[in-house]
Amino acid sequence: MAKSVLVVGGGPAGLAAARTLGKLGIPTILVEKEQKLGGRPVIEDYHTLIPRKMTPQQVIGPFIEEVQNNPNIDVKLGVELEACEGEAPNFKVKLSNGEEHEVAAIVVATGFQHFDAKRKGELGYGIYPDVITNLELEQMFSREGKLYRPSNGQLPKRVAFVFCVGSRDRQLGVTNVHCCRYGCALSGLQGTEIREHYPEVDVFCYYMDVRTYGTWEYPFYWAPQEKHGVRYVRGRIAEITYNPQDGRLRVKHEDTIVQRPAEVPMDLVVLVLGMEPSEGTKKVAKILGLAQDPDSQFLVPAEDAGSNIISNKPGVFIAGACKGPIDIESSLSEGEAAGAEAATFIGAKVSA
């Protein structure tokens, strides 16, 4: 009987890995600590995914369906990896539901978590209701289908996006100096969506510099400005305050192009959050003895592997946002690659 593979994490990378293994006929155990599959895009109700501007259900839904319907895959929801003994191809793993299994390989796809905006108190999140996160804006679109100020339910006249909240920030220490990779593009998309549906609303993007990688440059940077009138301001935000006289927020910043301070009234401020390793990633790294980046604490591949999905521990493969910020499509591709590597690893051991 073929040995099993354990996949830890039921987000995009974990789903893609499990689907690949299942299609190859390999018994696969997929554990997900939440009560549903799909990772943050599904669990947290993202509205639209970059770069293809499709919904989470359109992109991830087919993977969920295939995984749930494949008899080779045993999906365990609300379950976490608690312990692991032995070496590949004879890992003995213990799960949080008390089950114990022997598996030949493990794929880790434990994802990320959003930066806690309350750690940047000067930006007013948790103090002023009209300061929200880009995740909450996504949920506003997907759950309620409209844009509004949480303080009064009215349509804002001005919306500001503040880039790099919790990323590229040396004030937070070396753990948050990395680029989140998605924030500039997603803000361009969200700003465009606001202007398309509410052309009377002015949208401002406050940035240090704009990093829209590769083919994302036109649709998520130039088009928002040239086709939809989104205004980009290069500036460092010093503070966001509230003026009770007019009930509006004040964005205090230094415009680094004209080199002077400015204070602009806004009705809604959207903080674009950085990405950090999830608690699950930190926990699994400790259980399995996986190498982590000394600064960001994301997982890192083995130095001599020649591949970014092979970990420092033989028989353990790593994929997706547990290794750092990554877009959905790349996460799916890495998951498929990790599944294939795990299958190859098992085949080599079985035939030896």
Instruction: Identify which has the larger pLDDT, 254 or 249.
Output: 249
| CA 308 – CA 301 distance, rounded (Å) | 5
For range 278-283, the mean pLDDT: 96
For range 159-169, the mean pLDDT: 96
| CA 175 – CA 39 distance, rounded (Å) | 23
Is the pLDDT at 170 greater than 60, yes or no? yes
Which of 25, 5, 34, 30 is CA-nearest to residue 15?
30
Contact 240, 131 (CB under 8 A): yes
| CA 160 – CA 267 distance, rounded (Å) | 8
- Residue 56 preceded by cis peptide, ω within 30: no
| CA 118 – CA 122 distance, rounded (Å) | 9
pLDDT band at 352 (very low <50, low <70, confident <90, very high): very low
Is the pLDDT at 66 greater than 50, yes or no? yes
| CA 20 – CA 24 distance, rounded (Å) | 6
| CA 349 – CA 352 distance, rounded (Å) | 5
For range 15-22, the mean pLDDT: 98
Delineate the domains of the chain, giving CATH numbers in brackets.
5-114+276-346 (3.50.50.60), 117-273 (3.50.50.60)
Containing 152, the helix (H) or strand (E) segment is none
Each residue's pLDDT tens digit, 92-131: 999 999 999 999 999 999 999 999 999 999 999 999 999 9
Residue 218 token pair: 């036109």
pLDDT band at 2 (very low <50, low <70, confident <90, very high): low
For range 39-56, the mean pLDDT: 94
Mean pLDDT over each residue of the chain, to the nearest integer: 95
Can you list the alpha helix ranges (DSSP code H) found in the chain?
Answer: 12-23, 39-43, 56-69, 134-139, 183-197, 217, 223-226, 279-288, 328-351
Contact 37, 43 (CB under 8 A): no
The pLDDT score that the predictor gives to residue 81 is 98
Distances in whole angstroms, Cα of residue 158 to Cα of each of 76, 89, 94, 239: 45, 58, 52, 17
Instruction: Identify which has the larger pLDDT, 235 or 198.
Output: 198
Which of 216, 112, 128, 215 is CA-nearest to residue 166?
112
